[in-house]
Chains A and B, each alone.
Chain A
Amino acid sequence: QQQVRQSSQSLTVWEGETAILNCSYENSAFDYFPWYQQFPGEGPALLIAIRSVSDKKEDGRFTIFFNKREKNLSLHIKDSQPGDSATYFCAANYNQGKLIFGQGTKLSIKP
């Protein structure tokens, strides 16, 4: 059973556009949602995170929109750059450090 689901395995956008990556979850107990960025051959790096009490979190070009009622969230990357090309993982944390990851979305930015 996939508790955290990312709707796209891959996504391609043009440089300068806004990339939108979607994520949904099943367990209402999930209360913290980090997004990680991973480049090939490297460990994931925290990009931005949101708690379930908020509906929006912004950090520079990255924004998370969170809908608790619908159990979904999205990561918006404004003004996409070629350096943003990576795999993005949505994750959920609910208890004792247990972190559950989605399948990942491979984002490609076309120059």
Chain B
Amino acid sequence: AQTIHQWPVAEIKAVGSPLSLGCTIKGKSSPNLYWYWQATGGTLQQLFYSITVGQVESVVQLNLSASRPKDDQFILSTEKLLLSHSGFYLCAWSLGTGGGDTQYFGPGTRLLVL
């Protein structure tokens, strides 16, 4: 069975500090991977997606970047955090692109920027 793991579970960071969030998928080879951001009480906004190692497409940047160093790993990062980066970050995977693909979400990372 496939599992999706996100780390860390939660972070409290200072404005201007760097950030790195991670996501690992086990049990599926070559999944499509996605990063989402969710404000408290808000909707989900897709940030990035990747269909293969080394290839990342930006949907909405929000002064963040993403990388896919391995087939099963997706990283979200920034060099300087803003207050507006606070929220819930979710990683998701799917089997393939195109209409009809179901996306499965991880447990999320809660980020508070002070």
Contact = CB atoms under 8 A, between A and B. Distances in A.
Decide if A and B are genuine partners. yes
Interface of A: 31-32, 34, 36, 41-46, 49, 51, 89, 91, 93-104
A79 B97 CA distance: 35
What band does the interface of chain B fall in when counting residues whose beta carbon is under 8 Å from A?
Answer: 20 to 34
B102 A89 contact: no
Nearest to A9: B41
A43 B90 contact: yes
6 contacts: A32-B100, A42-B108, A43-B92, A43-B107, A51-B99, A96-B57
Main SS class of interface, A: strand
Contacts, number: 66
Interface in B38-94: 42-46, 49, 51, 57, 59, 90, 92, 94
Interface of B: 32, 34, 42-46, 49, 51, 57, 59, 90, 92, 94, 97-108, 110
A43 B34 contact: no
Given A97-B34, A98-B59, A46 B102 contact: yes
Given A44-B90, A97-B103, A102 B43 contact: yes
